[in-house]
Structure 1
Amino acid sequence: MNASLALEQTAIEYAEKTAYTFLETSATYGELNESVTRFAASLQSLGLQKGDHIALLLGNSPHFIVALYGAMRAGITVIPVNPVYTPNEITYILKNGDVKAVVLLDLLVPLAESIQEHLPLLAHYIVCESGDERAASYHPIEETPHTKMKAFSKMVGFPQPFTAPDLHEEDTAVILYTSGTTGKPKGAMLTHKNIFSNARDIADYLAISSTDRMITVLPMFHVFCLTVALNAPIVRGAEMVILPAFSPKEVFKAAKEKKATIFAGVPTMYNFLLQLPESDPADFSTVRLCISGGASMPVSLLEQFEKKCNVQISEGYGLSEASPVTAFNPLDKPRKAGSIGCSISNVENRIVDEAGDAVQTGQVGELIVRGPNVMKGYYKMPEETAAAIRDGWLYTGDLARQDEDGYFYIVDRKKDLIIVGGYNVYPREVEEVLYEHDDIIEAAVLGAPDPDYGEAVLAFVVQKGESLTKEDVLRYCKERLVSYKVPASVEFLKELPKNTTGKILRRSLKEQLLNNS
């Protein structure tokens, strides 16, 4: 079984059921499946074959779903790319990924033309119309000298003969380039087995059914959305309420108008929803489940949101290399605030020490995972693959602990550990304290070199007004933290740097520190 076949089965069982709504458009599962097959056939007509690579430079839209599933149906490996990356970042991924075709929004045509000379393998651009007036002047499609450019609408507009390739579960379906904390991003190769098994297992674990309506607002090019808010609903025949971009107001509106039953987001999204002054919690009255992932959610934020909207948040954990989900708070047992829950079906999580041996319950160690969702390796990086996957276990680089009931807790990234005078300080525990302050909206903590103690704790906060002082924050922390965990300094920012999924970027804060020092 693979994701493309799962869509075919869903289309047979729920042919007339709505697969998605997007702005003023919608499609049934029967219509979606037909569009996917037409796109797969069109790719074959361009000369693309099983094993070739195609990149998607798209935002949230039906185009993304059709291109993703159409390519997978044709046996072509998909590389989703963040469309707001810089030209240099996009060029690196397309070149390193040996991409032969790109599906992109018409607004990105000038960018594509500017990097073309660096990409000799690239033979085709498939252009999706945005309706934006700025794109009208490009006239890029199928006109000299743009012979490499085809219209997406034509690719799915006319039926062509499709020859189904012989797909194997270990064939690479998707390559996800990790953002990378150091050096160039690495391409995690996910097989058809990886993609389908994780979608199936998370759908089972969260009891997603054909009666659900999922708000799909997370970026589709990100693995969290790809599995939880796109593939899992398709496997179960649920409806996707697709939003082109995150807006707290539009999320509440969509939840109310579409009677949504599931919302998936990162902690920052929940924070923005919580802070929206004109929000009406009643708009979330049909939502049975909120899902959080992508970063650890502060317990204070979780509790405030649940109280306001009267809905439980189930926090989970995942990483690109694991397709991504490995753990989630169960629905049939108590939810534990601050925990990522238990291992999902068919996936095993373990906490180990530096030697790779299991630690005792409650002790902190590195989280490692294994299961049908773990990648086959990094594209063209055998040494990095060998370092990440050892004896069948994926080493995540995250520090965690497990309680006596089998629930896991992420303590922090291994690389973010701060050592102050020989004592371990986990940034998250300091951040949790800061989030509990009534006048603090967001917080991030990191370590910096210190001549006396090796490292010092630094705090960056966003406050609600302008009443807080650094002394107020330090005094607050001293009342709640042992002395070596108290920040050595506090800096107020108007906002914290985030990536496109809303995850706070400690790395960017470190770069700011280096630039200012």
Structure 2
Amino acid sequence: MNLSERLHQTALDKGSKTAYYFMDQATSYEELDTSVTKFADGLNKLGIGKGDHVALLLGNSPHFIIGMYGSLRAGAAVIPINPIYTPDEIGYIISNGDVKAVISLDALVPLLEKMSPQLPSVEHMIICDTQQSTEQNDLSSLTIYPKLKTFSKMISAGNDEYRREAADPDETAVILYTSGTTGKPKGAMLTHRNLYSNAKDTGDYLKISENDRVITTLPMFHVFCLTVVLNAPLMNGGTLLIVPKFSPREIFRIAKKYEATLFAGVPTMYNFLLQYPEGSANDLNSFRLCIAGGSSMPVALLKSFEQKFNVTVSEGYGLSEASPVTCFNPLDRPRKPGSIGTSILNVENKIVDELGEEVPVGQVGELIVRGPNVMKGYYKAPEETAAALKDGWLYTGDLARMDEEGYFFIVDRKKEMIIVGGYNVYPREVEEVLYEHPEVVEAAAIGVPDPEQGEAVKCFVVVKNKALTEKELRDYCKEHLAKYKVPGAIEFLEELPKNTTGKILRRSLKSEVLQR
């Protein structure tokens, strides 16, 4: 069984049930599955099948779901790409990923035209036509015109009886290019087995069912959304409430109108919802669970959100190379604030030292993972693969500790640890203290060069009260942190740099400081 087959089976069992709402329009499982089959047939007619790579340059929309599942049904592997990446970033992934077909927003046609000479492997460009679509006559002068196809026409011309043999479980299904902290992004090859097992195990762990209505506002091209908010609910017959772009106003509206049961977001999203003045607990009273991931959620933010909206936030952990989920706070036992929870079904997590030996309970080391969800390697990168995968274990690069009950706590990224005069300082512990201050909205800590100590802690904050001073915040930190952990400098910003999922980018702040 794989994701595409499971969707087809769900359509046979629950054909009339709503698979998703988009722009307040409902689409049933039968309608979705038919569109997927027709699109797969369209790809097959273009000569796209087993071994080929299809890139998705799309935001949150039915096009993404149909494009991904249709490509998988045709036997191709999918490469999701953030559509707001720069031309250089998009070009690198398409070129490195040996992409044969691109499924793209119509607004990106000019970009594709400009990039075309550098993308010789791309034979087809499938444009998702919208109400703002460029008329076909306007495209006829483009050099890429012979390669252009229209998404809607491919579906309308497709055969709904198209079938092909099931894919091998160990064939590559999705290649996710990780942003990384240095160098070019690497393509994590996830197999059908990886994706199916992680969606199933995550869904079972979080008790996702056909009764769930899941707010889908995390970017679909990001692995957190792909598995937890898209694949797991569709696998279990749930209903997606697709939100193209995160907006607190829209989240509260959607939640109330459709009686949403599940919300998943990164900490920044929770912060925005908490700060939104018109949001109330009444709007979210249908929620049975909120899920947090993508980066560590400050404990102060978690507690404030739960108290205001009377919901439980279950924090988890994952990474692209693990499809992504490895841990979640369990629903049948107490949730521990600050913890990423326990190992999900069929996945092992453990903490090791520099030699790969397991460390005692409570001691900090590197988190490593093993299970059917772990990638088979990086695309065309054997050295990077060998560094990440050792004896069947995936080395995550995250520092963590485990308590006596098997709950894991992320301490920080191994590469982002600050060493002050020989002492280890984890950015997260400094940030946690800052988040406890009632006037701090966001905080980030980095290490900067220091002639005496090697490194010093520098923090960046966004605050409610503009009259708050650096001295007041530093004095606050002195009350709660050891002397060597206290920030040597605190800089006030209007906002902190974030990626498209809302994760605060410490490395951008550090790069800016070093360039000054």
TM bin, normalised by shorter chain, reads: over 0.9
CA distance in 1, matches of 2:322, 2:289: 23
Alignment match, 2:73: 73
Alignment match, 1:127: 127
| Preserved CA contact (<8 Å) 1:351 1:402 | yes
| Preserved CA contact (<8 Å) 2:100 2:123 | yes
Alignment match, 1:171: 171
Alignment match, 2:139: 140
Cα deviation 1:417-472 (Å, max 9, x = unaligned): 11101111000000000000000000000101111001100000000121111101
CA distance in 2, matches of 1:235, 1:11: 10
| Preserved CA contact (<8 Å) 1:142 1:151 | no
Q: How does 1:309-320 map to 2 (within 5 A)?
A: 309-320=309-320
Moved more, 149-158 or 234-243: 149-158
Q: CA RMSD in A?
A: 1.3
Give how far 1:9 is off.
1.2
CA distance in 1, matches of 2:460, 2:238: 40
Alignment match, 1:335: 335
Alignment match, 1:287: 287
Is the counterpart of residue 405 in structure 1 residue 427 in structure 2? no
3-state SS of the aligned residue for 1:147?
helix
Alignment match, 2:511: 511
Alignment match, 2:113: 113
Give how far 1:508 is off.
0.5
Alignment match, 1:155: 154
Give how far 1:278 is off.
1.3
Is the counterpart of residue 376 in structure 1 residue 376 in structure 2? yes
Q: How does 1:41-440 map to 2 (within 5 A)?
A: 41-132=41-132, 135=134, 139-140=138-139, 146-160=145-159, 162-440=162-440
User: Aligned pair in 2 of structure 1 residues 145, 503: CA closer, same or farther (>3 Å)?
Assistant: closer
Cα deviation 1:111-155 (Å, max 9, x = unaligned): 01010000111100000023237x459833798860110010011
Alignment match, 1:4: 4
CA distance in 1, matches of 2:202, 2:82: 24
CA distance in 1, matches of 2:253, 2:23: 12
CA distance in 2, matches of 1:384, 1:67: 30
Cα deviation 1:160-210 (Å, max 9, x = unaligned): 262404410000000000001100000000000001000000000000000
User: Aligned pair in 2 of structure 1 residues 425, 99: CA closer, same or farther (>3 Å)?
Assistant: same
Alignment match, 1:481: 481
TM-score (norm 2): 0.98
| Preserved CA contact (<8 Å) 2:261 2:288 | yes
Alignment match, 1:442: 442
Q: How many residues align?
A: 515
3-state SS of the aligned residue for 1:11?
helix
Residue type at the aligned position of 1:462: V
3-state SS of the aligned residue for 1:99?
coil
Give how far 1:48 is off.
1.0
CA distance in 1, matches of 2:366, 2:19: 40
CA distance in 2, matches of 1:386, 1:324: 19
3-state SS of the aligned residue for 1:139?
helix
Residue type at the aligned position of 1:146: Y
3-state SS of the aligned residue for 1:479?
helix
Residue type at the aligned position of 1:300: A
Moved over 2 A (4+): 135-145, 158-163
Residue type at the aligned position of 2:62: P
Residue type at the aligned position of 2:139: P
| Preserved CA contact (<8 Å) 2:113 2:143 | no
Residue type at the aligned position of 1:130: T
Residue type at the aligned position of 2:300: S
Quick one: percent identity of the two aligned structures?
63
| Preserved CA contact (<8 Å) 1:214 1:262 | yes
Residue type at the aligned position of 1:159: G
CA distance in 1, matches of 2:52, 2:490: 50
User: Aligned pair in 2 of structure 1 residues 320, 145: CA closer, same or farther (>3 Å)?
Assistant: closer
Give unmatched runs, 5+ long, in structure 2.
none
TM-score (norm 1): 0.98
Give how far 1:489 is off.
0.4
Moved more, 144-153 or 229-238: 144-153
Residue type at the aligned position of 2:43: L
User: Aligned pair in 2 of structure 1 residues 138, 293: CA closer, same or farther (>3 Å)?
Assistant: farther
User: Aligned pair in 2 of structure 1 residues 144, 119: CA closer, same or farther (>3 Å)?
Assistant: closer
| Preserved CA contact (<8 Å) 1:141 1:150 | no
3-state SS of the aligned residue for 1:404?
coil
CA distance in 1, matches of 2:158, 2:95: 32
